[in-house]
A and B are shown apart, each in its own frame.
Chain A
Amino acid sequence: MITIEAVEKKFGDTVVIPPLSLRIQEGEFLTILGPSGCGKTTLLRMIAGFEQPTAGSMLLDGENIVDLPPYKRDMNLVFQHYALFPHMTVEQNIRFGLKMKKIPAAEQKKRAGEAMRLTQLTALSNRKPSQLSGGQQQRVAIARAIVNNPKVLLLDEPLGALDFKLRKDLQRELKQLQRNLGITFVYVTHDQEEAMSMSDRIAVMNEGRIEQIGTPQEIYHQPKTLFVAGFIGENNIMEVRSSRIAVRPERMNIRLLDEPTVVEGRICTIEDTEFVGNMEKLYVRDQETSESFIVYCYGSEPFQGQKGGEVRVSWRKEDEVKLQ
């Protein structure tokens, strides 16, 4: 669908994105996930056409689009702060793209109506953006983009400005919308939970590079690099037999020293405990290597260990993930 080949971006002498390649498949929900400043927004803006790559090529359905201005690219962007036109009503905003392409008024009306129905905006069609709530403005931004039937919808942290509850609701709505429309979504966010819950595939970006690309399960269970292992969820990273491995805290086993057991393990001291509702988090330190670990204890009864107490920590060999 979209093939990005060795695309590079420099601002002056600073390399923001070293040569990067990425294939986006038809109909998928791809999330570009990374901390702020990792170049994810720059990448998205290059796809949309607002930034010119310094080198490389980008193909949309086999056609090179690098030299096309944004208004000739068959994709639409949902802006971070929506960028709604303040002097137009909701409906005028949504019809804008169709009007620019000189689509007959009757069809404009029909398609805008459909887009408003999909985004539950029908009742608000005559409002101005300033009379809408944040969530409603967000919906207008999405309707304004999808009404054009783009091949690809690009979304730049579209939920970033909304509060937690609303964000959760809209995440599900967006995912639903993408399934119904069947168009490709390229979604940029720094929120790993958001990425995990919505995406078909996640591309984790760091310092302009794609560290790993895969399904949420792959990214979580088989992180390839130190960065991915540390960025997605909590992880215990350690050196074992001269290679670096990661073990998820929920895969760690913890027992009091005096419990009889056959498992070998590391003797650790409990440094701190945290109760977070569905589980207890234990911060422990290996007495021999002084590495520290996080262990999640699920269980109906609270863990007996006290702060300062000694415990045996172990894990299964198959839960180790080797990092590059």
Chain B
Amino acid sequence: MKRALLAYSSFILLFLYIPLMILALYSFNDSRINAAWKGFTLHWYVDLFQNEAVIDAFWNSLLIALVTTAAATALGTLCALGLHTYKQRTRTMMSGLMYVPILVPDILMGLSMLLVFSQLHWELGKLTLIVAHITFSISFVVILLSARLASMGKKLQEAASDLGATPWQTFRYVTLPALLPGIISASLLTFTLSIDDFVISFFVSGPGSTTLPLYIYSMVKRGITPEINALSTILIGMVVILMILSEKFQTKGTDGRKGQLPF
């Protein structure tokens, strides 16, 4: 039984990874049109780095993700700390409400913000993208850090207070250091979400604020080219690195338990 399940699971992993591997493999294939292997080349990567639109999209994505990460992490951390001081019932209700932005379909979130921006006559561009990205990221930060604060309990703060720490000292020497790995992991998550977002960005971006996912979409719409393979491969590589980093921080500082998945 266990053997059959293990074999089955390996098959599922192949199902998940083979398409990505093929994608990466063909980014090195020296053929523009078809899938026959014509030999190894870095040509498409060279093309990519000489393509100004791609470089622009990359810088846009990076800028938006960095600003979003800084703002959403700050807002979300403060919010989680604030909620932690609330009474149990209020806290449960508020953190329940924090799930709403995550559960609302992306498409609705995107178009609703498009509506409001257009009513406010805000020009669609980097600013509207940043605002939108912060909006969908805050909830993730709050939920992640609230879970962490809850698992810390009030005992550590009580212990600090008992040992003579004022509320500020308690925050400075106990709460914040114990929370720091969580904050780092939340900011990595935010960064990934922002870099990765397509649907919401699709609605609130304007000319001159194309991000990498938006650029890939428009490339695919125009026709399949090996450059898309190359760009996709780079994105996959970035995600893998971010994931491994985030995994490191998630388990650090806790008693070996992983941060709660947002489910």
- Chain A directly contacts chain B within the complex, with at least one CB pair under 8 Å: yes
Q: Which residues of A contact B (CB under 8 A)?
A: 48-50, 69-72, 76-77, 79, 81, 83-87, 96-97, 99-101, 130, 144-145, 148
Report yes or no: B173 in contact with A79, Cβ–Cβ below 8 A.
Answer: no
In the assembled complex, the Cα of A148 lies from the Cα of B174 at a distance in Å of 18
Q: Which residues of A contact B158 (CB under 8 A)?
A: 50, 70, 77, 79, 83
Q: Which residues of B contact A130 (CB under 8 A)?
A: 255-256
Stretch at the interface among B8-16, B163-171, B228-236: B163-171
Name the residue on B nearest A45 (C-beta).
Answer: B158
Identify A76's interface contact among B162, B169, B253, B254, CB under 8 A.
B162
The smallest beta-carbon distance between B31 and chain A, in angstroms, is 54
**B158, B164, B165, B177 — which one has the most chain A CB atoms within 10 A of its CB?**
B164
In the assembled complex, the Cα of A81 lies from the Cα of B169 at a distance in Å of 22
Name the residue on A nearest B256 (C-beta).
Answer: A130
In the assembled complex, the Cα of A101 lies from the Cα of B169 at a distance in Å of 10
B70 touches A (CB below 8 Å): no
Q: Which residues of A contact B2 (CB under 8 A)?
A: none
B51 touches A (CB below 8 Å): no
In the assembled complex, the Cα of A10 lies from the Cα of B110 at a distance in Å of 50
B155 touches A (CB below 8 Å): yes
Report yes or no: A48 in contact with B162, Cβ–Cβ below 8 A.
Answer: yes
Q: Which residues of A contact B254 (CB under 8 A)?
A: 86
Give 4 nearest A-B pairs by CB, closest first.
A97-B163, A83-B159, A83-B155, A70-B161
The smallest beta-carbon distance between A6 and chain B, in angstroms, is 25
Name the residue on B nearest A129 (C-beta).
Answer: B255
Report yes or no: A100 in contact with B162, Cβ–Cβ below 8 A.
Answer: no
B131 touches A (CB below 8 Å): no
A-B CB contact pairs (8 Å), 5 listed: A76-B163, A81-B155, A85-B178, A100-B163, A144-B163
Report yes or no: B156 in contact with A83, Cβ–Cβ below 8 A.
Answer: yes
**A50, A69, A79, A85 — which one has the most chain B CB atoms within 10 A of its CB?**
A85
Q: Which residues of B contact A48 (CB under 8 A)?
A: 162
Q: Which residues of B contact A87 (CB under 8 A)?
A: 177-178, 253
In the assembled complex, the Cα of A54 lies from the Cα of B146 at a distance in Å of 30
The smallest beta-carbon distance between A42 and chain B, in angstroms, is 14
Given contact pairs A87-B178, A100-B164, a sample of 12 additional A-B residue pairs in the complex whose CB atoms are under 8 Å apart = A50-B158, A50-B161, A71-B161, A81-B155, A83-B158, A87-B253, A96-B160, A97-B163, A100-B169, A100-B173, A145-B162, A148-B163
Query: Secondary structure of the B side of the interface?
Result: helix
A-B interface contact total, Cβ < 8 Å: 67
Q: Which residues of A contact B177 (CB under 8 A)?
A: 87
Report yes or no: A100 in contact with B174, Cβ–Cβ below 8 A.
Answer: no
Identify A86's interface contact among B161, B165, B255, CB under 8 A.
B255
Indicate whether A79 sits within 8 Å of B159 (C-beta atoms), given known contacts A100-B169, A148-B164.
Answer: yes
Q: Which residues of A contact B173 (CB under 8 A)?
A: 96, 99-100
The smallest beta-carbon distance between B169 and chain A, in angstroms, is 5
Q: Which residues of A contact B163 (CB under 8 A)?
A: 71, 76, 96-97, 100, 144-145, 148
Report yes or no: B156 in contact with A85, Cβ–Cβ below 8 A.
Answer: yes
Name the residue on A nearest B166 (C-beta).
Answer: A71
In the assembled complex, the Cα of A130 lies from the Cα of B254 at a distance in Å of 9
Q: Which residues of A contact B155 (CB under 8 A)?
A: 79, 81, 83
In the assembled complex, the Cα of A144 lies from the Cα of B162 at a distance in Å of 11
Q: Which residues of A contact B162 (CB under 8 A)?
A: 48-50, 70-71, 76-77, 145
The smallest beta-carbon distance between B156 and chain A, in angstroms, is 6
In the assembled complex, the Cα of A49 lies from the Cα of B158 at a distance in Å of 10
In the assembled complex, the Cα of A130 lies from the Cα of B252 at a distance in Å of 12
Q: Which residues of B contact A49 (CB under 8 A)?
A: 161-162
The smallest beta-carbon distance between B237 and chain A, in angstroms, is 32
In the assembled complex, the Cα of A86 lies from the Cα of B178 at a distance in Å of 7
In the assembled complex, the Cα of A79 lies from the Cα of B156 at a distance in Å of 10
Report yes or no: A71 in contact with B156, Cβ–Cβ below 8 A.
Answer: no
**B162, B173, B177, B254 — which one has the most chain A CB atoms within 10 A of its CB?**
B162
Q: Which residues of B contact A84 (CB under 8 A)?
A: 159
Restricting to B206-263, which residues have a CB under 8 Å from any CB of A? 253-256
Q: Which residues of A contact B166 (CB under 8 A)?
A: 71, 100
In the assembled complex, the Cα of A97 lies from the Cα of B159 at a distance in Å of 10
Report yes or no: B159 in contact with A100, Cβ–Cβ below 8 A.
Answer: no
Report yes or no: A85 in contact with B159, Cβ–Cβ below 8 A.
Answer: yes
Q: Which residues of B contact A145 (CB under 8 A)?
A: 162-163
The smallest beta-carbon distance between A91 and chain B, in angstroms, is 14
Q: Which residues of A contact B164 (CB under 8 A)?
A: 71-72, 97, 100-101, 148
In the assembled complex, the Cα of A100 lies from the Cα of B103 at a distance in Å of 44
